Every structure is written in C-alpha cells, then in structure tokens.
Chain A
C-alpha cells in the first residue's frame, strides 16, 4: 500500500519517461533527417529521393518485423538473410527449369514458393531450438544460416537467375500514383497487422510473456514450445515476403542476396528500442529503426561516402542507441529505489 502511494506520486515522471521511450527513436530519426537535409544542401528531402528511400526500406523493414518477434522472445535469428536467399533461389530455380511461361498463375506459384520455402526453414529453426533442445537460438540459427546459404548457392550453381514474369515482379516494382511503391504499402499494411497481432491477440501477448519471464509463462500453462516455433516461423515468413520484394526489384534470384540482412534486421529492432533480453519492444520502433538505417545509407550515398564509412556510422548509431537505453534504465532504477526508501521512512516513522 505504502509502496503504492510512493509510485503514484512518481506517476507523472514515469509517464513522461514512457512518452520519451516511445518517441525517443522517432525524435532521433527526425533529427538525422534534418541534419542530412542540411549537409546534402537540400538534396535529401526531394520527392525523388524520398520515393527512393520508400523503395529501399521494405526489404529490411520486412525482415526486421519477423526478427522483432524472435527478439521479443529473448532470442535471435542469425539466419534471416539466408532464409531470404533460399526462398528466393528456390523460386528462381523453379522459374528457370520448370515454370518458363509468363502466365499469372506461374507468377503466383513462384511467389508462393519463395514465401513457403523461407517459412519452412524458419519453422525448422524453431524445431531445432525446442524439440532438439539446442541450448541457444544463436547456435540453431547460426547452423541454418550456413546451411541455407549453402543450399542457395548449390541449387543455383552459384549463379544469378534472371527473368521473372511480370506477374511475379509487380509487387517489387509497381508504384501507386506513380510515386508510392506498392512494396512500401505492403510493408506498412503488414506492420499494422503485426501491431494488432502483438498487442491485441492472445498469441501475440504470449510472445511478450515468454520473453518477459519464461517461468511465469511456463507456470501459466502456456505452450512455450509452440510460441517459440511460431516466432521463428514468422521470422522465416517475413524473410520470404521480403524475398518477394527483392525478386521484383532486381528481377532476379541472387544466391548471395542480403548477406548482411540478419544484422540489419537485428539493428533495426535494437535501435527501435527492443530489448535483447526479450519482452520489450514494438513494431513502430522497429519501423523507425529500419528507416534510420536506410536513411543513413541513403544519406551516405548522396554525400558520396564510401560503404565502409556507412558501416562505421551505422555501427556507432547502434552503440549510442543502446547506451542511451542503458542510461535511462539506470536512472529509472535509481529513482524507484529512492522512492521506496522515502516510503519506508514514512512507514518507520508511523510505527514509532
């Protein structure tokens, strides 16, 4: 009871920090955009450049949302980039040898293959982790990272397969009103769906519960294996969808596609405020994280900075973002401790 009162009086500050937690990444994103607009001398916020960014962002943003599910569990999916590649390349091989006509049906089949294959390998990750009881997702997904990439190279003979039918590439290439990429609309729609799933569907809440406190989830009778398998499958599914966009944009299946994809996806989640320990994070932060990475890449290109410099900038941003989070948590804890001590003092004074 007394604790209660202490926290009620602290309520305002807690609310304020909560707003900051949510808006923090967005604020940083806006600042970076303004900074880029200034250093590029107005070349950043042009319609064509913005359209460019909207075309570039979906692949990483889609992978990031699957990754978020896994990170919410307190897990990690190192195989994301390879999951995309294996789906994409299977689809490419089918196109080259079996489905050579350009009908709408074959387009749909090719895209389905791309998504299903990635999902199946994601599902296998989940099985490795739960049913084979591999001790840490790092190991299971590190293994499948190599296996999937190797398979992608093997089935394509390490060569790019080009020439998909229009019906398959449309999602990756079509622009609404001539400027808004269909892939971006798809991404945003899926973000909305996942937001509802994670915040308003029982299964989604179980993901947070598992990540926040495994024991509590277990004692609540949650089928923890099922939740984990679902999340790794979702990671595969979203890699597959990202694969569709990739397939359309490049009109080819590249076995070495998105080699850094998993790291970009992880970075998006982390910059977006997701906790590596699990149980904390949301889709909008992740979207901002994905944008942040893409915008920095874009800005560096506009400034004609080399890719090595881009890497350094992104690396520093990840570290700074997480360090800010660490500082905020420490301040939070300290404030809570002091509030409790104050309440204790009042209680002790009442006893005597």
Chain B
C-alpha cells in the first residue's frame, strides 16, 4: 500500500486568456485531511475539476496508488475511487434520497431495481452520517445540511478512497458543521483521504492535518497545519499585506441617501431597517441564506412580494420593478456577472450602453456617435483593458468585465450603487482595481452598498458593516467601533450577541 493515494505532478491548465493552473504538484495521503485554501480565482476549483475529470490537464501527470492514470471524465474519476461534494449541491430534487444516492450505482435483482435493499442501505448510510430520515423522502424537501449528507453518502456508497469537499460548511448551521466534523473524523479512521477546501481558516485548523495554499493558479506551499500560523497563511494567500490589498481612502460621510423601513417578505426578510449615506461604503455581511441578496433584490424591485417603505433621500418611493429603481438613480450590480450583468457575446460598447439605451436617442434613432464617445471615455476612466470597443465582452478578463458592468451603471448617473459580490471570480490584481473604482464613487459623494461573503474584503473596504442572519439585521457596526473586527462580525453572523 502506498502512503500517498493520489498525486498530481506538474499540472498546467490553460483557459482562454488565463493560465488557470501553473505547474502544480500536489498529493493527498491516506487517512489525512488536506486543507486547500486560497482566494477566489486561485485555481482551487480547477484543481478539483481535474481530479474529478471535468477538465483535463494540458500538461502534467496524475498518479493514483502510485500508478499513472488518465482521468478522461467523471466516470473515470469515480472508478478510481474519487468522490466530490461540490459547493453547489448536485441533487435531483424530485427524486428520493435513495434514488439520488444510488444514481448510476443501482442495486439490481435481475432486470429490476432492488428498492428494498437500496432503501435499507441508504437508511443505514444516512444514519451513519447522523441523519435519521426516511430514504423515500424527496431531496427537494430536505434542508441543506441533509442534502449535503446525501452528497457525502454518494461517496460512502461507492467506497471512495478520496473525498473532495468544496467549501462544505458555507451553508451549514453551527450544529450541522460539528456534525460534519465528526463524519470527517470517521471517514479518516477508515483511511479515506480528504481534500477540504475552505475560506475559513478556523475550520482548517479545526479539522485538517496538512494545508496547501494556492494563489493565482500556483501552488505556494504545503505545510502541516501545526507548523504554520494563521497570519502566515493569510500572507501566503494574499501575497502582499492587506493594506495594499484594500486601498481604503477616508471620505466624509454626507446625508442619508437611502433608507429602508420595515422591509419584510414572508419567510425571507423580517423587519429590515437601515440607512445608507452618501460618501460611505456600507458593507453587508452574513452567511449564505442570511437574506442580504434578497434585501437588495427587494430594494431594486426584482422581488415584489414585500412590505415596508423605501426612501430615496427624504422621499418615500415606490419601487416595483428594476425600471422604477433605475429611474430613481439606483444601480444594482448583480452577483452573477455573466448571467445577469453582461451580454457576453455583445461588444463592449453595446454592453456599456445597455441600461441607458432608452436615453441615448436622437429622435427615433440611437445616437451612435455620442454612445461611442462616452464609451471611449468609460474605457479610459475605468482603465478597461480591451482590444477595441467592438470586442465581445466575453473575451475580456473577469476584472475588466466587472469594470464594464460598473461603467454601464455609472453612465446612468446613478447615486446609489448596490454591489453584490463585486469581486467574485476575479483575480487579486483586478480586485484592487475594482476597490479603487468603488473608492472613486464614494469620493464623488455617491452611496455604495456592498454585499460580500468575504470577511477580509468587507472589513477592508467598508466604512460601516451591517450583519444579517436568517433575514434579520443582527448588528450595525461602524469602522470606528471596537467591534469592527473579524471575530465580532463572524459572531453576529452566527447569531451571537455583541456586547
């Protein structure tokens, strides 16, 4: 038996316009939990997808049990004993737990499926994972914790020797997290190797043996967890000190520009009250499902099953559609740039005038010359790197795409900018540029609201942080307050009271 279960040697992977992985060498040992940390876009997901056969490496070799292998697709990976629990759970909501567990690993008796046996086994597997539940229940009716257990169950069932977990705790409650830890311990005892990807360093210290840091597609270092401090890990991840990462300029707080009173939506939001000021960055932090995005969507008129009042300046305003919001000078930069923010196949110039298209008219027709002139100016002010104004936006890097989205909204002369996860999936250098753009907006006296799941980012760029949990506001902390730190904000996000 080999001590190392899987080994990647000198793996390189190219995507159009980026090197996603550069010469990465990585190994996972039997019965060990291997932490994998790094900022968004560091290459963790690509690495995982190479192990699970979703992507094939352009260069490099993979060894399993000391034998060189080729992982051509998900079924190859499965046959090699590699299982993965993705961050976005992959279940069929209308099928039962049993059906999901045994997907493509069915127990058959002759021609037919042996449901009796399968139900019994899935009940046992789920019980081992700490979930006592009828295996006939449809997965769509389960909470996220149980759904995740079903995903882990899939790997248990196929007897995976390597289990990859991609941010497994991101949507779990505290009780569910400790349950997950005990499951990990049990699997470890059985000699299963585990790769544990996390954004939360505390978790890495709690359950990992080794930790590997990745940055910009490169492997920075692999060390035993006991031999490295949290501060060291952070500096490895970021590659520079936090001060240069988050260029925070101090601006003067001005008048109230947006106030939300008793905003509620059945089952989702409960009496949300807050004010946002001009010249200030207001950060919204919370765990997944805390209701931050839902709050912003309600303000922007996307979700209309709501009660409560919204004031723009001092005026009570009715916002029932994004159109209403835009005409009240609100801009909303959505979480999913590619799906909701840009038309990837269309040119930079077309995307830049997407929101203003109704105003860019001269008589019946579009004023092409004016649009072109403004777009050119946009590209200069926001330092958008593009080969030409007519290049499809999809060919730009993530950071430049995000700048196009911001410029598009700036063109509407909006006063209130709501950013939902503004730096998701863009590399570190580009992040800083996005922060600079945000700083510029604030300097002009605009009101900026930012929703982010990355605590260092929220702390780095906000003047004030509101913490939400389960659709309620838990805390409202000013940058000057002594509570303006990672520990207290996290505590509030978990439902704890800050004294």
Residues of A within 8 A of B (CB): 1-4, 6-7, 14, 196, 200-202, 205-206, 208-209, 212-213, 215-222, 275, 279-280, 334, 336-338, 340-341, 343-345, 347-348, 351-352
Contacts and interface: CB of A to CB of B under 8 A. Distances in A.
B112 A209 contact: no
B495 A351 contact: yes
B143 A344 contact: no
Contacts of A208: 92, 94-95, 99
Contacts of B92: 208-209, 212-213, 216-217, 279
A291 B175 CA distance: 51
Contacts, number: 129
A7 B90 contact: no
Given A201-B111, A216-B92, A1 B266 contact: no
Given A3-B146, A205-B103, A280-B94, 11 more contacts: A3-B142, A3-B144, A208-B94, A212-B92, A212-B95, A216-B90, A220-B103, A334-B266, A338-B266, A341-B267, A344-B471
Contacts of A351: 174, 494-496
A221 B73 contact: yes
Contacts of A200: 112-113, 115
B470 A344 contact: yes
Given A219-B52, A221-B75, A212 B93 contact: yes
A341 B108 CA distance: 40
A341 B471 contact: yes
A342 B105 CA distance: 37
B91 interface: yes
Contact of B469 (A217, A280, A348): A348
B173 to A, nearest CB: 6
A148 to B, nearest CB: 32
A221 B78 contact: yes
A98 to B, nearest CB: 37
B104 interface: yes
A2 B175 contact: yes
A220 B268 CA distance: 33
Contacts of A220: 74, 78, 103-105, 154
Interface core residue of B115, B173, B174 (most chain A CB under 10 Å): B173
B143 A6 contact: yes
A86 B47 CA distance: 50
Interface core residue of B90, B113, B267, B268 (most chain A CB under 10 Å): B267
A347 B469 CA distance: 11
A4 B133 contact: yes
Contact of A202 (B106, B179, B270, B469): B106
Nearest to B103: A220
B72 to A, nearest CB: 11
A148 B267 CA distance: 52
A222 B105 CA distance: 10
Nearest to A212: B92
Nearest to A347: B173
Contact of B495 (A1, A279, A348): A348
Contacts of A213: 90-93
A222 B146 CA distance: 24
Contacts of A279: 92-95
28 contacts: A1-B176, A3-B146, A4-B131, A4-B143, A4-B145, A4-B146, A6-B143, A200-B115, A202-B104, A202-B108, A209-B92, A213-B91, A213-B92, A218-B74, A219-B86, A220-B103, A220-B154, A280-B94, A334-B266, A334-B267, A337-B268, A341-B270, A345-B470, A347-B470, A348-B469, A348-B470, A351-B494, A352-B496
A2 B173 contact: yes
Interface core residue of B104, B469, B497 (most chain A CB under 10 Å): B104
A337 B266 contact: yes
Across the A-B interface, the 5 shortest Cβ-Cβ residue pairs: A3-B143, A221-B75, A212-B92, A337-B267, A216-B90
Interface size class of chain B, counting residues whose CB lies under 8 Å from the partner chain: 35 or more
* Interface residue SS majority, chain A: helix
B95 to A, nearest CB: 6
A7 B145 CA distance: 13
B74 A352 contact: no
Interface string B469-484: 1110000000000000
Nearest to B73: A221
A209 B494 contact: no
Given A7-B141, A200-B113, A347 B99 contact: no
Contact of B74 (A196, A221, A341): A221
Interface core residue of A196, A205, A336, A347 (most chain B CB under 10 Å): A205
Contacts of A341: 267-268, 270, 470-471
Interface in B320-342: none
Interface in B33-74: 52, 54, 73-74
Nearest to B89: A216
Nearest to B496: A351
A109 B176 CA distance: 63
A191 B381 CA distance: 66
B345 to A, nearest CB: 14
B187 to A, nearest CB: 19
A166 to B, nearest CB: 35
Contacts of B52: 219
Nearest to A352: B497
A221 B79 CA distance: 9
Contacts of B130: 1
Nearest to B267: A337
B142 A7 contact: yes
Contacts of A206: 103-104
Contact of B103 (A1, A217, A345, A348): A217
B110 to A, nearest CB: 10
A2 B113 contact: no
Contacts of A345: 470
Contact of B113 (A201, A212, A216): A201
Interface string B450-490: 00000000000000000001110000000000000000000
A1 B471 CA distance: 20
